[in-house]
Structure 1
Amino acid sequence: MLNRRGITLNKRNYPFVISIAGVSGGGKTTITKRLNKRLTNTKVLFFDDYDVEGPIDIIDWVDKGAVYDEWNLDEFFVDLKELIDSPLEYIILDYPFAYKHAKIKSLIDLAVYIDTPLDIAMARRVVRDYNNRSKESILNEMENYLSRGRRGYLEMIQSIKPCSDFIVDGTLPPSIIVDKIYHNIINE
């Protein structure tokens, strides 16, 4: 079987790269960490660990057509290329764009999308990001989500989900999600 780079999978001499995408609060980091424990000889890159240069106003960017190549992912790309040249079996990317960024897409072997309903993702975000915040800051975030922010989430669903290789139900327990991804990788 050939991967997206045209290489026979069972004769690779470089790591198999798995991208985990989904909306904010969708479970990317949780699943990435658990999948990392499940696979052997693996390294992980977390998109949120990078100070990437992207649009100042995400919703304006969405409204103008959401051109993913406008994001400067040079630092992320350099680290990924370095890992690809290392003796690893797998590289897992906690990375929201799947195949939508031209510089990164050619390095991904499998793009997974965690399909989490927006209400669950938003509840997770509030619990995660607003645990020690005031009621007013939570209400402001909800108002922003309703007036503008939801369009950013919908962009992910409309653009990233369809271009992913494997879509998994984000309402499932994390252990089941990891099992499904693991079996998909093993069966590639």
Structure 2
Amino acid sequence: MFKAKVISIASVSGGGKTTVTNELIKRINCSEALFFDEYDFEGAPDDLVKWVDDGPDYNQWNLELLKAELKSLLEREEPPEYIILDYPFAYKNDQLKNFIDLSIYIDTPLDIAMARRFLRDQPNTTSYEISDQLNFYLKFGREAYLEMGKTIKPNSDLIVDGSLPVIDIVDTILETVKT
């Protein structure tokens, strides 16, 4: 029986997960994607900064909904050849780690990720609001970004330079997938 290959794509917020996932779906025939941000998870921390400060427990997140949808794709009579997971935890959550065949970390410089987040999430934000958000990031949020580099990056099979153009990131991933 044919088993679909599951590829997870991780990065910091604004690091390119969704853009790269969408481009991979366009370029890989017979593939489908699941997006972490489309789910509401039980056990998800209300305060991500505190969660990181306390020493993040990636198993705190109950990923049953995502796991069930992933299993449903895998158990289809004719499953896709590839399932791309836009998913931030690599192999760190026990509920999903055994489903993942290849974990990719997009190593995006934090300044680029922050700029992308502002452009994506806050197109009409005032300079005062931007200033408040930057102050929050510097005082609290940066640690969450750094946590990804300390924990998820070394827990991944392939690390790709997130400052590269999307097409180059995708080409690098596709070269690895072919082998």
1:91 to 80, 83, 91: 83
Q: Which residue of 1 aligns with 2:37?
A: 48
Deviations 1:88-132 (A, max 9, x none): 100000001110100000000000000000011001101111102
The one-letter code matched in structure 1 to 2:67 is: F
Q: Which residue of 2 aligns with 1:81?
A: 71
Give TM-score scaled by structure 1 length.
0.91
Q: Which residue of 2 aligns with 1:30?
A: 19
Comparing 50-59 with 105-114, which one deviates more in the overlay? Answer: 50-59
Q: Does 1:68 align with 2:58?
A: yes
Q: Which residue of 2 aligns with 1:7?
A: none
Taking only the aligned residue pairs, the percentage that are identical comes to: 53
Q: Which residue of 2 aligns with 1:5?
A: none
The one-letter code matched in structure 2 to 1:58 is: L
Aligned ranges 1:1-188 → 2 under 5 Å: 13-53=2-42, 54-86=44-76, 87-187=79-179
Looking at structure 2, the residues matched to 93 and 130 of structure 1 have their Cα atoms a distance apart, in angstroms, of: 25
Superposition deviation, residue 135 in structure 1:
2.2
The one-letter code matched in structure 2 to 1:148 is: F
Looking at structure 2, the residues matched to 28 and 83 of structure 1 have their Cα atoms a distance apart, in angstroms, of: 20
The one-letter code matched in structure 2 to 1:140 is: D
RMSD: 0.9
Q: Which residue of 2 aligns with 1:3?
A: none
How many residues in Structure 1 have an aligned counterpart in Structure 2? 176
Looking at structure 2, the residues matched to 130 and 138 of structure 1 have their Cα atoms a distance apart, in angstroms, of: 9
Q: Give ranges in structure 2 of 5+ residues lacking alignment.
A: none
Instruction: Name the SS of the counterpart of 2:37 in structure 1.
Output: helix
Instruction: Name the SS of the counterpart of 1:133 in structure 2.
Output: coil
Looking at structure 1, the residues matched to 55 and 164 of structure 2 have their Cα atoms a distance apart, in angstroms, of: 32
Looking at structure 2, the residues matched to 171 and 165 of structure 1 have their Cα atoms a distance apart, in angstroms, of: 19
Looking at structure 2, the residues matched to 83 and 139 of structure 1 have their Cα atoms a distance apart, in angstroms, of: 43
Instruction: Name the SS of the counterpart of 1:96 in structure 2.
Output: coil
Deviations 1:15-37 (A, max 9, x none): 00000000000000000000111
Q: Give ranges in structure 1 of 5+ residues lacking alignment.
A: 1-11
Looking at structure 2, the residues matched to 173 and 52 of structure 1 have their Cα atoms a distance apart, in angstroms, of: 32
Give TM-score scaled by structure 2 length.
0.96
